[in-house]
Amino acid sequence: MKIFALFLLISIGALTAETPLTQYQQNIIETARYTFVLSEHAEAVSAPSLVPDEETSKPKNKGKAMFMSLLIPGWGQRYAGATTKSAVFFGLEVGLWTTYGGLTAYGNWRENDYETFAASYAGVNLDGKNHTYFIDVGNFDNIYEHNEYRLQQRNWNKYYQDTEYWYWDWDTKEHMQKFDDLRIAADTADNRAKFVLGVIVANHLVSAIDAVISVHRYEKNRLSNLDWDVYFGDSNFQPAVNINLTAHF
């Protein structure tokens, strides 16, 4: 459209230079005064501007983008106009938190299962017991076997007092093995949940770094734009060509 308008103006100028104008032609030209402006700051009256919108061409702040993506991965990319990467980082964040929640729930479910199982088939008192205690319950038939092993190793710190509070004694090897399988399943889910949590932290950090890069690219593209456009105005003088070229490097 701009090229066509420029060609039209040049053609009219050539014709008026070579051929005497009639009064009718002069009236047409007088009516169709024009101003050819290459600037986003000109006052246009009849032709729409093709210069980038102010909202899409204003500067972006790298620090702001980094903070936004540290808070919510993909937010800084959206701020920088990188919508595809924004969707990728945010979608990954949602998927990771969903996975973390699922693994945590499964681990808690298995933990409740093995604790209840130990109370039912080994006579374990569940009050105040830590994870190390249940590992010992799964590795030894009863408290006496465990204490004998610790005494042989001279490991007095891990010796359990022979009281009802610490007591356990499995009724069968099969039940002991099933308990240990449940405990291992719970521990595996817990370890995987911790790993996913680490990936979530990494996703925040990578998204923050990428947001800074995205803003850098945005600014580089914004400052390298060459803006120009064609406008028709209502000048009170004879037709003229006014050129104002604005370029950013």
Which two three-digit tokens encode residue 240? 């003229």
pLDDT digits (tens, 9 = 90+) for 166-187: 999 999 999 999 999 999 999 9
- The confidence score (pLDDT) of residue 201 equals 98
- The confidence score (pLDDT) of residue 162 equals 87
Q: What span, in angstroms and rounded, lies between the C-alpha atoms of 204 and 71?
A: 7
Confidence of residue 225 (pLDDT cuts 50, 70, 90): low
- The confidence score (pLDDT) of residue 95 equals 97
Does the pLDDT at position 193 exceed 70?
yes
Confidence of residue 57 (pLDDT cuts 50, 70, 90): low
pTM of this structure: 0.65
- The confidence score (pLDDT) of residue 239 equals 52
Name the residue among 71, 100, 249, 104 with its Cα closest to residue 187: 104
Which two three-digit tokens encode residue 58? 């204003």
- The confidence score (pLDDT) of residue 19 equals 46
* Max mean pLDDT range (15-19, 203-207, 245-249): 203-207
Q: Mean pLDDT, the chain, as a whole number? A: 79
Name the residue among 38, 15, 42 with its Cα closest to residue 26: 15
